[in-house]
Amino acid sequence: MAHRQTVRLQGIGGQSKPIQPAGAGYYDGFEPPHSQVSSLAVKLERLLHREDFRASPARALARRLLWRLRWAITSRPWRLATSYGFPLWIGKTGSGALIYYQGASEPQALRFLSRYLREGMIVADVGAHFGEFAVFCALAVGGHGAVHAFEPHAEMFALLERNIAELGLAQVTLNLCAVGEADGEAEFWERTEPASSSLAPQRAADREVRRVRRVPVCSLDSYFARRAAIPHLIKADVEGAERRVILGARELCSLSPGHAPLWLLEYSVSACARAGENAEAITATLQQFGYRCYGLDEEGTPRPWVPPPAPHFPTVHLIASKQELT
């Protein structure tokens, strides 16, 4: 990555197809504590923000019915086409549903990555799920680049492994583990919705947790120090535990502009609350390391950071860079 104070985002010629925006923010399906918004209202609000629904409400509703019908018939993985030119094996998850509905689970983030990533870059995908971002990034950085994917959910890791193998992406290194503040082990909560699974906070498991497992945990500082490498970009979607990932990358975050990695994070007030974290502490921690924070507009363009408004608390993307993004 060029060592300059301003990063100008450009497209990756021929690497990916254009991805249509999904609307301002997306929702994780959970209401914050003491919310006065009903579950039905939240679901309706979420639906109205979807790009596919805005384009054709009837078709969008039909596809949601077919999604439910398919999983009522069989629980086997489903191979779906994506809007950016490659197939993925998916499970019954919220992310998989969004790929079925609109071709991508998080179009804004992928549009941003399509302009930011370059051949030869190194990417860390923390919370890789079944591999949508890992595959996208691997194709963008090419054979001379590298993607290090981390996923502790055993079922999602099996799909991730299958997708990487079938696409022949030798530049992807797979890690069946969680990422946190330090190396070790931790309890991992597998939820009814796999995409909401997370490291266990300091409280009793809630009704959505279907299984508790102990999983290995690594810090990004120790992981990349062992490989004598520095990632250009770290994507982290870990259901409210993003600050733990950042604190486990203190050395990487302390590097100078032009060397410190750029962060692409999920920012969810409700997910942080479930994890026993404060969402505002994420931006505060990054700023302590000298990062500037940005949000993404519908086209995936960085804009000055504005926290999500109450009371709906949409989940949004947070970009953090020590270089000005234009």
Cβ–Cβ under 8 Å, residues 72 and 48: no
302-304 vs 292-296, strand pairing mode: antiparallel
How does pLDDT run along the chain (326 residues), one tens digit per residue? 433 344 545 543 333 333 333 333 443 444 444 444 455 666 666 776 777 778 888 888 999 999 999 999 999 999 999 999 999 999 999 999 999 999 999 999 999 999 999 999 999 999 999 999 999 999 999 999 999 999 999 999 999 999 999 999 999 999 999 999 999 999 998 999 998 888 888 777 778 889 999 999 999 999 999 999 999 999 999 988 999 999 999 999 999 999 999 999 998 888 888 888 888 899 999 999 999 999 999 999 999 998 877 545 568 899 999 999 87
Q: Write down the CATH superfamily of domain 106-325.
A: Vaccinia Virus protein VP39 (3.40.50.150)
The residue extents of the domains of the chain are: 106-325
Q: What is the pLDDT of residues 244-289, one digit of tens each?
A: 999 999 999 999 999 999 999 998 888 888 888 888 899 999 999 9
pTM metric for this prediction: 0.86
Dist CA 189 CA 127 (whole Å): 14
Structure tokens at 255: 């590097």
* Location of structure tokens 């949000």: 295
Dist CA 99 CA 11 (whole Å): 22
Cβ–Cβ under 8 Å, residues 137 and 147: yes
Nearest to 309 by CA among 269, 282, 281: 269
Kindly report the number of other CB atoms within 10 A of residue 172's CB atom. 26
Q: What are the CA-CA distances from residue 285 to residues 71, 224, 254, 290 (Å)? A: 41, 21, 12, 9
